[in-house]
Chain A
């Protein structure tokens, strides 16, 4: 059954079983391998994408739920908050191995879109579901503040 949705600004369709996880479809069908598999059970955040503008763990999202919706992955994220996050990530050399980082960037961007000037507490709450094996948490927090400051102009 073909499932239609918008993926990174383009109308797409995927002919897969309705219970196929979105993450499988992104990686194996569309070859968008920036979104990672870490746990498959909504515990690590490596698979985070935006679904209709909000963060969503793609490993536990059946593709049938995405029908008619809008999905944005690390390959397609754009806008001033995403740019500010990317710049701050590069400036502070945030990633270590990098495996968790696409999920981190998706959550951080979603946070800045809702709270342009987040406190440490806001950051910790928004990022609590994104685990980093390399423990880059301190740099992540710093980079989000830096991105926020840069948006202020």
Chain B
């Protein structure tokens, strides 16, 4: 009896096109380009000019910073994004206090401490203990790498010193989630360790930003 009720329920919602929509999004994700590699600081040793080396390394960091796994929660508006095409989060959810959603529908209504595989189909719901949106002052969506870089260094709007930023990039668990995003999502390029090393090397070479 229970199964019949369940089947009727699913049929009702399939008719809304929801199940199909999600299935398509997951398929598009898995069909998109395979995760790129991330070059480490040594790979830039042949660039003699320190400023140019710094810029080149920041451009490499950009593979992470502008990856949809990261940009999704650094939106410019008040709603998170989803998928490789960065469409609006479905269901609609707002930033709310502390970037954790609205009363009655917080991020934690769905997102728990870990990624959870769906029981009825392929894919998973992402999770991490610190699941929330980045502050609006750290919005990266739609920005050039140069703009993101200058924003990261601007102490008036960044809540981190460069040293703190390196620690954040190298060790923060929520950042690290990007490399372990759960079934149905393409991870960020390379590893968090290399990302941390690149950040340090970029700082050590003067933290120079790309133009544009």
Contact = CB atoms under 8 A, between A and B. Distances in A.
Contacts of A28: 2
B116 A60 contact: yes
Contacts of B118: 40-41, 60
Contacts of B116: 60-62
B10 interface: yes
A111 B5 CA distance: 28
B120 interface: yes
Interface residues of B, number: 37
A77 interface: no
Given A57-B109, A60-B125, A125-B94, A44 B104 contact: no
B104 A114 contact: yes
Contact of A54 (B92, B96, B109, B120): B109
Interface stretch (B13-21, B40-48, B200-208): B13-21
A99 B9 contact: yes
Given A40-B10, A41-B118, A42-B110, A33 B105 contact: no
B93 A129 contact: yes
Interface residues of A, number: 43
Given A54-B109, A62-B116, A131-B18, A39 B13 contact: yes
Interface string A123-152: 001111101010000000000000000000
A111 B101 CA distance: 12
Given A27-B2, A37-B6, A115 B18 contact: no
Contacts of A107: 104-105
Interface string B78-118: 00000000000011111010000011111011101100111
A27 B104 CA distance: 23
B131 to A, nearest CB: 13
Interface string A24-37: 10011000010011
B135 interface: no
Interface in B124-145: 125
A94 interface: no
Contacts of B96: 125
Contacts of B119: 19, 21, 24, 40, 59
A44 B110 CA distance: 11
A110 interface: yes
Given A38-B9, A61-B112, A127 B19 contact: no
30 contacts: A24-B119, A28-B2, A33-B2, A37-B9, A38-B12, A39-B10, A39-B13, A40-B120, A41-B120, A41-B121, A42-B110, A43-B13, A43-B91, A44-B13, A45-B91, A54-B108, A54-B109, A55-B104, A55-B109, A56-B108, A57-B109, A57-B110, A61-B116, A99-B9, A111-B104, A115-B103, A125-B96, A125-B104, A128-B105, A133-B12
Interface of B: 2, 5-6, 8-10, 12-13, 15-16, 18-19, 22, 90-94, 96, 102-106, 108-110, 112-113, 116-121, 123, 125
